[in-house]
Amino acid sequence: MRDDLEAICVIENQRFERPWSKEMFLSHLRKRDCGMLAAIQDGITVGYLVFERGEDFVEIKKIAVDYLHSRCNVGRALVKSLTQRMEGTTSKLTLTVQERNLNAQLFFKHLGYQAVAIIRDSSAEVAEDSYIMENEFLSSEPETVELEDIRPFPIKLIVKNAS
Ligand SMILES: CC(C)(COP(=O)(O)OP(=O)(O)OC[C@H]1O[C@@H](n2cnc3c(N)ncnc32)[C@H](O)[C@@H]1OP(=O)(O)O)[C@@H](O)C(=O)NCCC(=O)NCCS
Protein backbone atom coordinates (compact mmCIF):
# COMPACT_ATOMS: atom_id res chain seq x y z
CA MET A 1 0.00 0.00 0.00
CA ARG A 2 2.91 2.37 0.72
CA ASP A 3 4.08 1.98 -2.89
CA ASP A 4 0.60 2.80 -4.13
CA LEU A 5 0.47 5.85 -1.88
CA GLU A 6 3.71 7.21 -3.33
CA ALA A 7 2.22 7.01 -6.83
CA ILE A 8 -1.10 8.37 -5.60
CA CYS A 9 0.62 11.40 -4.07
CA VAL A 10 2.32 12.13 -7.40
CA ILE A 11 -1.10 12.22 -9.11
CA GLU A 12 -2.58 14.17 -6.19
CA ASN A 13 0.13 16.86 -6.52
CA GLN A 14 -0.39 16.97 -10.25
CA ARG A 15 -4.18 17.35 -10.09
CA PHE A 16 -5.00 19.45 -7.02
CA GLU A 17 -4.03 22.99 -6.03
CA ARG A 18 -4.15 22.00 -2.39
CA PRO A 19 -3.15 18.34 -2.43
CA TRP A 20 -3.49 15.97 0.49
CA SER A 21 -0.19 14.88 1.98
CA LYS A 22 0.62 11.21 2.43
CA GLU A 23 -0.19 11.64 6.13
CA MET A 24 -3.63 13.00 5.25
CA PHE A 25 -4.32 9.94 3.08
CA LEU A 26 -3.14 7.67 5.86
CA SER A 27 -5.24 9.40 8.52
CA HIS A 28 -8.34 9.03 6.32
CA LEU A 29 -7.59 5.41 5.61
CA ARG A 30 -7.16 4.64 9.28
CA LYS A 31 -10.80 5.59 9.85
CA ARG A 32 -13.05 2.59 10.16
CA ASP A 33 -15.50 3.63 7.44
CA CYS A 34 -12.99 4.88 4.86
CA GLY A 35 -11.58 2.99 1.93
CA MET A 36 -9.70 3.50 -1.29
CA LEU A 37 -9.75 2.10 -4.80
CA ALA A 38 -6.71 2.32 -7.04
CA ALA A 39 -6.78 1.83 -10.81
CA ILE A 40 -3.71 -0.03 -11.96
CA GLN A 41 -2.64 -0.36 -15.58
CA ASP A 42 0.39 -2.43 -16.50
CA GLY A 43 1.49 -2.30 -12.87
CA ILE A 44 1.27 1.50 -12.72
CA THR A 45 -1.21 3.40 -10.57
CA VAL A 46 -3.16 5.68 -12.92
CA GLY A 47 -6.01 6.82 -10.68
CA TYR A 48 -7.61 6.49 -7.27
CA LEU A 49 -10.79 7.10 -5.36
CA VAL A 50 -11.16 7.61 -1.60
CA PHE A 51 -14.58 7.02 -0.06
CA GLU A 52 -16.25 7.13 3.32
CA ARG A 53 -19.43 5.43 4.39
CA GLY A 54 -22.07 7.41 6.23
CA GLU A 55 -25.22 6.02 7.79
CA ASP A 56 -27.25 5.79 4.61
CA PHE A 57 -24.87 7.11 1.96
CA VAL A 58 -21.34 6.77 0.66
CA GLU A 59 -19.28 9.91 0.08
CA ILE A 60 -16.59 10.12 -2.57
CA LYS A 61 -13.93 12.12 -0.75
CA LYS A 62 -11.37 12.16 -3.56
CA ILE A 63 -11.03 10.99 -7.12
CA ALA A 64 -8.23 11.75 -9.53
CA VAL A 65 -6.70 10.30 -12.66
CA ASP A 66 -3.19 10.84 -13.96
CA TYR A 67 -3.12 13.47 -16.73
CA LEU A 68 -1.69 11.02 -19.25
CA HIS A 69 -4.68 8.72 -18.69
CA SER A 70 -7.41 11.39 -18.67
CA ARG A 71 -10.47 10.69 -20.77
CA CYS A 72 -9.61 7.00 -21.01
CA ASN A 73 -12.50 5.86 -18.80
CA VAL A 74 -10.35 5.36 -15.70
CA GLY A 75 -12.49 7.74 -13.62
CA ARG A 76 -15.67 6.10 -14.87
CA ALA A 77 -14.29 2.65 -14.01
CA LEU A 78 -13.42 3.78 -10.47
CA VAL A 79 -16.89 5.23 -9.81
CA LYS A 80 -18.58 2.19 -11.34
CA SER A 81 -16.46 -0.13 -9.26
CA LEU A 82 -17.41 1.75 -6.10
CA THR A 83 -21.08 1.71 -7.12
CA GLN A 84 -20.92 -2.00 -7.72
CA ARG A 85 -19.27 -2.66 -4.38
CA MET A 86 -21.83 -0.56 -2.53
CA GLU A 87 -24.92 -1.98 -4.20
CA GLY A 88 -27.33 -3.31 -1.64
CA THR A 89 -25.58 -1.52 1.24
CA THR A 90 -26.56 2.05 0.42
CA SER A 91 -28.89 3.88 -1.93
CA LYS A 92 -26.94 7.08 -2.42
CA LEU A 93 -23.48 8.18 -3.51
CA THR A 94 -22.54 11.77 -2.81
CA LEU A 95 -19.62 14.17 -3.23
CA THR A 96 -18.70 17.84 -3.03
CA VAL A 97 -17.19 19.59 -6.03
CA GLN A 98 -15.95 23.16 -6.29
CA GLU A 99 -18.05 25.46 -8.39
CA ARG A 100 -15.10 26.28 -10.62
CA ASN A 101 -14.24 22.62 -11.24
CA LEU A 102 -16.37 22.33 -14.35
CA ASN A 103 -14.48 19.26 -15.62
CA ALA A 104 -15.41 17.24 -12.55
CA GLN A 105 -19.01 18.50 -12.69
CA LEU A 106 -19.30 17.37 -16.31
CA PHE A 107 -17.71 14.04 -15.47
CA PHE A 108 -20.13 13.32 -12.63
CA LYS A 109 -23.10 14.67 -14.62
CA HIS A 110 -22.17 12.21 -17.35
CA LEU A 111 -22.31 9.43 -14.74
CA GLY A 112 -25.83 10.45 -13.69
CA TYR A 113 -25.02 12.70 -10.73
CA GLN A 114 -27.08 15.81 -10.09
CA ALA A 115 -26.25 18.96 -8.13
CA VAL A 116 -28.65 19.03 -5.18
CA ALA A 117 -27.27 21.85 -3.04
CA ILE A 118 -24.73 24.65 -3.02
CA ILE A 119 -22.37 25.32 -0.15
CA ARG A 120 -21.56 29.02 0.17
CA ASP A 121 -18.08 29.56 1.54
CA SER A 122 -17.47 33.08 2.76
CA SER A 123 -14.63 32.09 5.07
CA ALA A 124 -11.89 31.79 2.46
CA GLU A 125 -10.12 34.92 1.14
CA VAL A 126 -11.37 34.01 -2.29
CA ALA A 127 -14.86 32.60 -1.92
CA GLU A 128 -15.01 28.97 -3.04
CA ASP A 129 -18.58 27.86 -3.39
CA SER A 130 -19.15 24.16 -3.97
CA TYR A 131 -21.91 21.90 -5.17
CA ILE A 132 -23.09 18.76 -3.47
CA MET A 133 -23.75 16.21 -6.19
CA GLU A 134 -25.62 12.97 -5.66
CA ASN A 135 -26.57 9.84 -7.49
CA GLU A 136 -29.41 7.90 -5.98
CA PHE A 137 -30.03 4.36 -7.06
CA LEU A 138 -32.69 1.97 -5.92
CA SER A 139 -31.35 -1.29 -4.60
CA SER A 140 -34.14 -3.03 -6.52
CA GLU A 141 -32.78 -1.54 -9.75
CA PRO A 142 -29.02 -1.53 -9.31
CA GLU A 143 -26.76 -0.09 -11.96
CA THR A 144 -25.49 -2.92 -14.09
CA VAL A 145 -21.74 -2.92 -14.38
CA GLU A 146 -20.21 -5.25 -16.90
CA LEU A 147 -16.76 -6.44 -15.91
CA GLU A 148 -15.68 -5.69 -19.47
CA ASP A 149 -16.14 -2.01 -18.60
CA ILE A 150 -13.21 -2.05 -16.25
CA ARG A 151 -11.07 -4.77 -17.75
CA PRO A 152 -8.67 -2.36 -19.51
CA PHE A 153 -8.07 -0.70 -16.16
CA PRO A 154 -8.19 -3.44 -13.55
CA ILE A 155 -9.27 -2.01 -10.25
CA LYS A 156 -7.35 -3.14 -7.24
CA LEU A 157 -8.86 -2.57 -3.81
CA ILE A 158 -5.85 -1.58 -1.78
CA VAL A 159 -7.64 -0.86 1.48
CA LYS A 160 -10.50 -3.06 2.37
CA ASN A 161 -12.07 -0.91 5.07
CA ALA A 162 -15.71 -0.09 4.44
CA SER A 163 -15.98 -2.55 1.56
C1 LIG B 1 -12.65 14.21 -12.96
C2 LIG B 1 -11.69 13.08 -13.37
C3 LIG B 1 -11.51 12.13 -12.19
C4 LIG B 1 -12.33 12.32 -14.56
O5 LIG B 1 -11.54 11.16 -14.83
P6 LIG B 1 -11.32 10.63 -16.34
O7 LIG B 1 -10.73 9.28 -16.23
O8 LIG B 1 -10.55 11.63 -17.12
O9 LIG B 1 -12.80 10.58 -16.92
P10 LIG B 1 -13.42 9.47 -17.91
O11 LIG B 1 -12.50 9.24 -19.05
O12 LIG B 1 -13.82 8.28 -17.13
O13 LIG B 1 -14.71 10.27 -18.43
C14 LIG B 1 -15.98 9.67 -18.55
C15 LIG B 1 -16.91 10.67 -19.20
O16 LIG B 1 -17.07 11.82 -18.33
C17 LIG B 1 -17.15 13.01 -19.15
N18 LIG B 1 -15.98 13.86 -18.88
C19 LIG B 1 -14.85 13.53 -18.22
N20 LIG B 1 -14.01 14.59 -18.17
C21 LIG B 1 -14.62 15.58 -18.83
C22 LIG B 1 -14.25 16.93 -19.14
N23 LIG B 1 -13.08 17.45 -18.76
N24 LIG B 1 -15.12 17.69 -19.85
C25 LIG B 1 -16.29 17.20 -20.26
N26 LIG B 1 -16.72 15.92 -20.00
C27 LIG B 1 -15.88 15.13 -19.29
C28 LIG B 1 -17.13 12.57 -20.60
O29 LIG B 1 -18.47 12.37 -21.02
C30 LIG B 1 -16.40 11.24 -20.52
O31 LIG B 1 -16.73 10.35 -21.56
P32 LIG B 1 -16.03 10.55 -23.02
O33 LIG B 1 -14.57 10.75 -22.80
O34 LIG B 1 -16.35 9.25 -23.71
O35 LIG B 1 -16.70 11.74 -23.64
C36 LIG B 1 -10.31 13.65 -13.84
O37 LIG B 1 -10.54 14.64 -14.82
C38 LIG B 1 -9.48 14.25 -12.73
O39 LIG B 1 -8.64 13.58 -12.14
N40 LIG B 1 -9.66 15.56 -12.47
C41 LIG B 1 -8.81 16.27 -11.47
C42 LIG B 1 -9.19 15.93 -10.06
C43 LIG B 1 -10.61 16.34 -9.75
O44 LIG B 1 -11.08 17.42 -10.11
N45 LIG B 1 -11.34 15.44 -9.05
C46 LIG B 1 -12.72 15.64 -8.69
C47 LIG B 1 -12.83 16.38 -7.40
S48 LIG B 1 -14.54 16.48 -6.94
Domains of the chain by residue range: 1-53+61-85+144-163
pLDDT (mean) for 104-133: 89
- Select from 18, 71, 113 the residue to mutate for testing ligand 1; criterion: most ligand atoms less than 8 Å from CB: 71
pLDDT at 61: 96
> What are the backbone angles phi and psi of residue 22, rounded to the nearest 5°?
-60, -40
Nearest residue (by CA) to ligand 1, atom 31, is 71
Vertex 162: Cα angle to 105 and 140 (nearest 5): 70
Ligand 1 centroid – CA 78 distance (Å)? 11
CA proximity to 75, closest of 158, 159, 155, 129: 155
CA proximity to 66, closest of 3, 13, 6: 13
Report whether 47 contacts 63 (CB < 8 A).
yes
**Number of other residues whose CB lies within 10 A of the CB of residue 42:** 6
pLDDT at 60: 97
pLDDT tens figures, 31-54: 888 888 999 888 889 999 999 998
Question: Is 95 touching ligand 1 by the criterion CB < 6 Å?
Answer: yes
Question: Is 118 touching ligand 1 by the criterion CB < 6 Å?
Answer: no
- Select from 81, 94, 107, 128 the residue to mutate for testing ligand 1; criterion: most ligand atoms less than 8 Å from CB: 107
107 pLDDT band (50/70/90 cuts)? very high
Ligand 1 centroid – CA 92 distance (Å)? 20
Write the DSSP assignment of the chain as a string of letters. -HHHHHHHHHHHHHH-SSPPPHHHHHHHHHSTTEEEEEEEETTEEEEEEEEEE-SS-EEEEEEEE-GGGTTTTHHHHHHHHHHHHHBTTBSEEEEEEETT-HHHHHHHHHTT-EEEEEE---SSSS---EEEEEEE--TTSPPP--HHHHTTS-EEEEE-TT-
pLDDT (mean) for 9-17: 97
CA proximity to 24, closest of 33, 12, 32: 12
Percent of the chain having pLDDT more than 70?
A: 80
Mean of the per-residue pLDDT values for the chain?
83
Architecture of domain 1-53+61-85+144-163: 3-Layer(aba) Sandwich (3.40)
Instruction: Kindly tell me if the per-residue pLDDT of 122 is higher than 80.
Output: no
Ligand 1 centroid – CA 103 distance (Å)? 6
Better-predicted residue by pLDDT, 14 or 40: 14
| Least confident stretch, 54-58, 105-109, 154-158 | 154-158
